[in-house]
Structure formats: C-alpha cells, structure tokens
Amino acid sequence: MSAKFIIGIDLGGTNLKIALLAKNLRIISKNVLNTRDFSGKKLVSVIVFAIEELIKSRGLKKEEILGVGIGVPGPTDHQKGIVHFLPNIPGWREVRLKNILEQRLKIKVQVDNDAKVMSLAEYNCGNARKYQNVLCVTLGTGVGGGIILGSRLYRGKDNAAGEIGHLPINDAGPRCNCGGVACLESYVGNRRIQERAIKSFKRNITLEELSLLASRGNRKALKIWQETASHLGVALSGMVTVLNLDAIVIGGGVAAAGDILFDKVKETIQKRAMSVQARRVKILKAKLGNNAGIVGAAILVKDEAGKN
C-alpha cells in the first residue's frame, strides 16, 4: 500500500494545530487543540493521541501515512530530532521527540523549529517564493525566525540559527523565559502586548480588540501598537543590515494587527538600517497565515522522503 497522506503539526505555546494533507500539500482536514494546561510528558501524550485520533477518524491505515512533520517553538536539532528546550512551554529539556513519537506511533517523524518550518512553507508556497535571501518571522506567544540564504534554509552549526525572538534589543530590560534579558520576545510577544494593554486600559482586553480600537484611532491602542512595531523594527533593522535581505515575511497572530504594525516596522527599518540594505528589502505579510506551520511541517516530510 503506497503512502498518500502527510500529517502536519504546528505546536505553539497556546495551541496545537494538526492537519491531514495530501502529498501535493493540499489540506484535507484540520483540528486545533488547546495545550495551555499541558507540559512535558503529558504534552507528548496529547500529540500522540491527536495523531492517532486523526488517523482513526479518517479511516486510514498507518501505511497510508508518508510521515508526520512537527514544528516546535524552541531550539531544535533537526537531524537528531531533539528538542533542546521550549521557552514558553515548561517541562521540555533535551527531549528526543522524533524517537519517542516514532516508537509510539510506528510512523516516520520529522521535527524542526516552528519558525524554520514556517519559512519553508512561505518559501515553497507563499510570499517568499520570488526571493533568494529571506527572513521569515513568526509573531505569537513566542517570536521566532527562519533564515533563507542563497535559496537554502540556514540552520547554523547546531541547527539553532534564526532565534530572532531572543535577540537582545536593550542593555537592560525584562527577563525572558529563555533566561536572557531584554530579548525582543519580551517586548513583542503577544502576552507582553496584552499585559501592556491591560495595564493601559485597566481591564481585560484581547489583541483583536486592541487592533480594532487602534484602527478607530484610539490613542492608547495606537501607542501600544506603535511601540510594539518600533521594537520589532529595531531588531529587524539589524538583521537587514547584517544579512542584506531581499525580503522579510512576517506571520503569526500578532501580525494580524495589519497596517498599524507593518507601516511602523517599515518606517523604522528605513530609518535604522543602513541605506543600501534598507532600499533593497521588502516587508511582506505571510501568505499562508495560520496554515504556514502545518504546511511547512508537511514539507519536512516530503523533503526527507525525497532524499530516500
């Protein structure tokens, strides 16, 4: 029986997205599970359960699955399938996720950092397709990055390149979940933005409402988004200057703020990056939206199968 399907998983600090895809990367079905209350071994069991339930619900046999791809929000050794740690999910240290899942599922598994996975999706199927040198950024609970250089995903010596969320942007500042100080994520991660919004409005407020208020001209909301975009723009200016990028593609939940965020990011880069590099770079919104992670995870599986 030939394999016809791929399972793609996008694990975030809040949700687990799981999808069944055809080999041409078309999404057949998709489900979202809340993972906020799970950590460590319990979360691994949730992943296994979600995969087995998906296979069962579609009436499939494991022989029909080419493989499972999973993107995780932290430094990961793609070659060995080891998750070093997850800054926003407790209980993960040097987890051999590939081996654990393959033993429990009896299906081939590929594991990588979620932002690298997103960059593969945008480069193969999204708004990064036209460009050879691209930084893809995910803005959510955490902030991640994937770097395409010379049309190839740049992983770094330890498969840990691209962690823009943990780039320090000040000499001093808030302590980050990664153990660092004044990391970009500590300023533009969605929880930090929401904390500032609650403090400013003195009530509970969602990022969606914050964006809506800003679009209507609310000064408090506009100030929060402009500060967020300015911090992001400063970090991206450094990346533009160092890497001389063709494009930056920005996705994730925070990117849903739209022009309020993007216009200020572009303005900041033009002011802060070196002029030659700043003129070159295009700032683009991710095309694949919330599906980028699961599509990229499926590409991991296809690429590995192609090698073999």
For residue 295, give every residue at least 6 positions away whose Cβ sits within 8 Å of its Cβ, in sequence order, or none: 8, 21, 25, 27, 121, 125, 288
Q: pLDDT-derived band of residue 297, with 50, 70 and 90 as boundaries?
A: very high
Residue in this structure with the two tokens 């654990």, named with its chain if needed? 100
What is residue 182's three-state secondary structure?
Answer: coil
Q: Which value, to the nearest 10 degrees, does the dihedral of the CA atoms of residues 288, 291, 296, 301 take? A: -140
Amino acid identity at 49: F
pTM: 0.88
**pLDDT, the chain, mean:** 92
pLDDT at 270: 97
Amino acid identity at 214: A
- The percentage of the chain sitting over the pLDDT mark of 70, rounded to a whole number, equals 99
Q: Which value, to the nearest 10 degrees, does the dihedral of the CA atoms of residues 158, 162, 166, 168 take? A: 110
Average pLDDT of the segment spanning 159-180 = 90
Phi first, then psi, for residue 225 (nearest 5°) are -70, -35
pLDDT at 193: 95
The more confident residue out of 160 and 308 is 160
pLDDT (tens digit, 9 = 90+) per residue, 133-151?
Answer: 999 999 988 899 999 999 9
pLDDT (tens digit, 9 = 90+) per residue, 246-278?
Answer: 999 999 888 988 899 999 999 999 999 999 999
Instruction: Walk me through the domains of the chain, giving residue ranges and CATH numbers.
Output: 5-117+290-307 (3.30.420.40), 130-286 (3.30.420.40)
Q: pLDDT-derived band of residue 1, with 50, 70 and 90 as boundaries?
A: low
Q: Is the pLDDT of residue 111 over 80?
A: yes
pLDDT (tens digit, 9 = 90+) per residue, 86-109?
Answer: 887 888 889 999 999 999 999 999
pLDDT at 308: 66
Could you write out the DSSP letters of every residue in 68-113?
Answer: EEEEESS-EETTTTEEEE-TTSTT-EEE-HHHHHHHHH-S-EEEEE
Measured at the CA of 35, the angle between CA 93 and CA 11, to 5 degrees, comes to 65
pLDDT (tens digit, 9 = 90+) per residue, 8-54?
Answer: 999 987 789 999 999 999 999 999 988 777 767 788 999 999 999 99
Average pLDDT of the segment spanning 272-288 = 95
Q: pLDDT-derived band of residue 116, with 50, 70 and 90 as boundaries?
A: very high
Residue in this structure with the two tokens 């499926």, named with its chain if needed? 298
